[in-house]
Amino acid sequence: MRSFPGPALEIVDRLRAAADANPDRAIAFQGSPGANSHRAATEARPDALPLPCFSFEDALEAVKDGRAGQAIIPIENSQHGRVADIHFLLPESGLSIVGEYFMPIHHALMGLGQGPFEAAYSHPQALGQSRLYLRERSIVPLSYADTAGAAAFVAEKGDPKLAAIAPAIAAELYGLNIADTHVEDSDDNMTRFVILAQKPAALAFDAAVATITTFIFEVKNIPAALYKALGGFATNGVNMTKLESYQEGASFSASKFYADIIGAPGDPAVDRALEECRFHSKELRILGTYEQGRKRG
């Protein structure tokens, strides 16, 4: 917790004290107060107590340790793709996905002055989402742990040539001037967040409820293993909305996959598809079944 930049610490301590007093209501997020994840936490769970954590691992650990009832983590962005390391962290955490939240993302360029700026600090995702904007202005992108933390860091450094890319509220929190707004390269910039808890959502199959099931699986190292593992979803009419591969370890012998499907266990078609995928895989593990935050298809 003490890794936050100085200007953020007072707000962090205040939010942490409130969460410590009622941990069941706390929702952990990665970043300093004012970060996009902070905003997502308050919008997705208006009655919860936001608990800022310096890293994704810290946010997940807060739930595992009982310091927070839930955590909200960004998993992918419409413009910059998946958030780094999430596919490793979620399965390792042992937590279950119990919900999702989609949030439009708008960035502001802020600093002690109005520019011109030589460099801009922000989270790598925000830098990637504003890549063309920065390049056109010859502003050097510099990575920081989170967007609002970058704003607090720029305030602490006191150099008018430095800027941060962060939500507009971060300028107000840390005494910076907004030099430009909507600096993201795309107007439809959207981030998907997942909400995690120690126990799975108590969500029985109901055809009237639109659900998503997220799972990981590792294919066997044989020809056509992926084709066979996925065949059951096609033959049973189960819509797969996301499939991403990733490597774990240094052997590169077989890929693991992170997948979303529409539907829930208990639906005979979903059960048959998952069973066929499991038969052709070394391992299959469901990370959660939860209501759709945004309609697919």
pLDDT band at 216 (very low <50, low <70, confident <90, very high): very high
Asked if residue 2 has pLDDT above 60, the reply is no
Q: 297 falls in which pLDDT band (50, 70, 90)?
A: low
pLDDT digits (tens, 9 = 90+) for 87-116: 788 888 999 999 999 999 999 999 999 999
Per DSSP, helices labelled H in the chain are 6-21, 36-44, 56-64, 86-93, 124-129, 131-136, 147-157, 168-174, 225-235, 268-279
pTM of the model as a whole: 0.90
The domains of the chain, with CATH numbers, are: 6-103+190-197 (3.40.190.10), 108-181 (3.40.190.10), 211-290 (3.30.70.260)
pLDDT tops 60 at residue 1: no
Q: Provide the angle, in degrees to the nearest 10, between the axes of the packed helices 225-235 and 268-279.
A: 170
Residue with tokens 């720029």: 154
Element (H, E) at 32: none
Catalytic residues: 191, 193
- Beta strands at 240-246 and 256-262: parallel, antiparallel or unpaired: antiparallel
pLDDT recorded at residue 79? 75
Is 90 exceeded by the pLDDT of residue 71?
yes
pLDDT at 252: 62
Region 74-87: what's the mean pLDDT? 80
pLDDT tens digits, one per residue of 268-289 = 999 999 999 999 999 999 999 9
pLDDT computed for residue 3 by the predictor: 82
pLDDT of residue 189: 85
Question: Could you report the per-residue pLDDT of 176-196, keeping only the tens digit for each?
Answer: 999 999 999 988 889 999 999
How many residues comprise the chain?
297
Average pLDDT over residues 248-255: 66
Quick check: 25 and 17 in contact, CB under 8 A?
no
Which region among 12-21, 73-82, 164-173, 286-295 has the lowest average model confidence (pLDDT)? 73-82
* 187 vs 161, residue with greater confidence: 161
